[in-house]
Structures are given as C-alpha cells and as structure tokens.
Amino acid sequence: MFAKTVLDNGIRVVSNEMHDHRSVSLGIWVENGSRHESAPQNGISHFIEHLLFKGTERRSAAQIAEEMDAVGGVLNAFTSKEQTCYYAKVLDENLPLAIDLLTDIFLHSSFDADEIERERSVILQEMSQSEDTPDDYVHDLFSLDFFKDHPIGRPICGRQETVNRFQRSDFVDFFKTRYRPSRVIVAAAGNFRHDHLVAEMTTRLGMVGDGSEPIAALLDGERKPTMASGVYPHSKELEQAHLCLGMAGVAQADPRRYPAYVLNTLLGGGMSSRLFQEIREKRGKAYSVYSFSSSYKDVGYLGVYAGTSIESAEEVVDLVVKELRKLAAGEITDEELVRTRGQLVGGMMLGLESTDSWMSHIARNEIYFGKTVTTEEICQRIRAVSRDDVIQLADSLFHPEEMTLTLLGDFADDFKLKSLASSH
C-alpha cells in the first residue's frame, strides 16, 4: 500500500507497506547532486556523503558501524548527478534503530577535522581506482565530452584539485544551504506502518527549518545542458581501446521513455541484443559490448560501450552505426519486439523483489513525477509499445553527425584517429 504525507516544513514521507516481508528499507533522499555544484565545489556533495558516517555528537564512526552490524543490517549511501541518498535496511523489529541512526547522522554529524583529512585520502584513492578501471573511466570521460561545460557532465567524485581544497567551513556551509526540508524525501518500504513512520519523522525532522537565503549556485546546474558532438580521443597506455558512442536521449518524465526502454534493450540490453550478437557472437570483435541510457529531469542520453583492440576500434564503431541505422530504417521483427518487452517486464518485476529496490523506486517516482507510478501501469505501458513507436524514436535520435564518440586507449597513431573520425 502506497502512502504520502508532507510534513509542515515540507519534508515528504513516501512509503510502500509490504507486510509479507520481514525487512524494512528506509532512505533519506536529498535533491542535491553533482549537477548542483559550482566548478570549485565539484565533488563536495560526494565528500559530504562520506563525512556523514564519520561521527555525530552522540556516536563515533566506529559506533555507527557497530550498532548496525550488531543487528545484521545495512547502512550505506550514494551520490548521483541529481540526488544523494542515505539508507538502511534492517529487520522490521530494528526499524527504530535505523530511524535513530539515519536521523542522527543527517542532523548531528560533527564534520570532525581529523576525519575530513582521513576521508580526503580515501576519496582520492577512490578516484585513482576509477581511473585505473578504464571500462568505468571512459564513461566519466564520455559524460564530460557529451555535456561540455555543464555541471551535469562533471565527475561525481570531483577532481583532485577541488577535493584537496575543501575545508570544514565549505562542508558546513554547503550542507546548511542545500540540505533543506523542501528538497528532502523520506522513503520507506517493508513491514511497518506509514502513520508510525510519519509520527517518528515529525518528531525527529519536523522542526528543521528551510532557511531563507536563495540557493544561488543551483542556477547554473538547473539550466538545461547543451550536448556536444564529435570525436574525443583520450590517450592512455592500455592493452585495449575503450569507446563510448552516444547521442541525445529522453528525460525522466518524457512520454517517450517507454519506447526508449525498449529501444535501449533491443539495441544492447542483453545477450540476445543486436550489438551483442553482431559484434561479439558473430564477429568476435569485443568481449564486452552493450548499450546504456541515463535520464535526468530535463535531458538524457543513449550510448553504446565497447572494449576492443586498437586495430578493431574503427570497425566496431562502423558496426554500431550500422545497427543504429537498421533500427531507424525499421528493421525490427515482431518476434524481437515481443521478446524485448518481455525481458523488460520480467527484469523490472524481479528487480523489485526486495524492499530496498522498492524504497528507491518510490523515492525516484516522487522526485521525477511527484506521485507513485505503479508496476501495473509501467508493465502496461511497456507492453503497449509498438514497432512504430520504436522506429519513430530511433529515427529521431540516430543522426551520426550529432553523436559524441569518446575513445580511451593508446591512440598515438594519427591515421587511426583520422580513420575513426571519418567513420563517425
């Protein structure tokens, strides 16, 4: 059973009571991510996410971890482009502990100077690890190339120079400015009562004020991004070439999102997909090849990743573009469409077997739609996607001259760069 209550200070409490489960997943979501940072602040949202687990007025960092471990629960957080989430998953009997821990770190984190220095080192190591994982790193580079200078393209972890520069006052000021009740959502799913949760959140979070100062630095991040096109090689000594080829997609609330789900899955969403069968199975040109999509409140993109040899990079790009053109020309069978719709429905329903998945689902629905979108509605919309819907969307998106190609590898040979550019 879905429910929503708005506290007097603007905090939204959304929930899905699931009384056939023994667990409860609880998250405090803040509509603040890396796109809401100015250039000098890049990475501060992610840094704050780390710091909230490093001690409060009542608990040390070790005590926070020990209390959750003692009940076999999970306590974690993540930062994305548009949100930060702090969450816990516990047995239903331990929900009071989860509420106490999450609200304590959310309201009373100490931002201790020594912990800041330790965590600075941890984040720098995290960044280095990402750069040493080229199949992940190429996606960060693609985002920078694709979104030009817009904040949404910047890395969530930030850059070395910004992470090294942050001081305690920066974190405290940013937190006070951004973590406002009007941008906070409490989401829960599992075996509990919504009215009990609302009462607890009213007691613990209901007195938090929203502040009166405008959030000036949000203005740049709130503007709609302008997307780039072209070929962007990034030289790095690697055994393989890693590439991302992407184009404009659809925003989170775009009515075309259901054809977009089908299109992405049909193109490269599994072992039966066009790209996997053509590039890996038939030609053996890549071990890993898939399509991906990201959607934000006002923009989105659809892309393809492949890891291949330097010598095969040009051919792989040509094969990807060829598959895109086939889809835009209408070369889609009814059998493919039925299989892809079934894959999407089955994957979504299996993914929502757990309370933590449901917690995220209802929180994102509140953020992007302001309401709960039921699984029945989503399944119905996916099954209603027609062949013409997919073809029309593909035709509107697939324009090679408007695509962005990011390359990561040992591209010292000028001929190869020119060849890739000409193929694009």
CATH number at residue 315: 3.30.830.10
Rounded-to-integer distance, Cα 162 and Cα 202, Å: 37
The reply to whether 179 and 284 lie within a common domain is no
The reply to whether 125 and 38 lie within a common domain is yes
Strands laid side by side in the 241-248 sheet: 230-235, 404-409, 241-248, 300-308, 288-295
Q: 225 lies in a domain?
A: no
Last residue of a domain, one of 200, 220, 240: 220
The total number of structural domains in the chain stands at 2
Q: What is the chain's pLDDT, residue by residue, as a tens digit (424 residues)?
A: 899 999 999 999 999 999 999 999 999 999 999 999 999 999 999 999 999 999 999 999 999 999 999 999 999 999 999 999 999 999 999 999 999 999 999 999 999 999 999 999 999 999 999 999 999 999 999 999 999 889 999 999 999 999 999 999 999 999 999 999 999 999 999 999 999 999 999 999 999 887 655 555 455 677 889 888 999 999 999 989 999 999 999 999 999 999 999 999 999 998 999 999 999 999 999 999 999 999 999 999 999 999 999 999 999 999 999 999 999 999 999 999 999 999 999 999 999 999 999 999 999 999 999 999 999 999 999 999 999 999 999 999 999 889 999 999 987 544 343 444 444 4
287, 307, 312, 393 from 284: Cα distances, Å? 7, 11, 10, 29
Find the domain containing 418 and state its range: 230-423
- Whether the CB-CB separation of 243 and 289 falls below 8 Å is answered with no
Structural element, H or E, at residue 136: helix 134-146
Non-local (6+) Cβ contacts of 376 within 8 A are none
| Whole-structure pTM value | 0.93
The crossing angle, in degrees rounded to 10, of helices 313-328 and 414-423 is: 0
The reply to whether 137 and 275 lie within a common domain is no
Q: 279 lies in a domain?
A: yes
- Closest by CA to 86, choosing from 106, 63, 66, is 106
Q: 134 lies in a domain?
A: yes
Rg (CA), the chain: 23
Contacts of range 104-107, beta carbons closer than 8 Å, 24 or more positions apart: 104/56, 104/58, 104/59, 105/52, 105/53, 105/56, 105/64, 106/28, 106/52, 106/179, 106/205, 107/204, 107/205, 107/208
85, 121, 154, 242 from 166: Cα distances, Å? 21, 12, 17, 32
Helix (H, G, I), strand (E, B) or coil at 125: helix
DSSP 354: S
The reply to whether 244 and 184 lie within a common domain is no
Catalytic positions are 49
The reply to whether 133 and 183 lie within a common domain is yes
Last residue of a domain, one of 220, 250, 273: 220
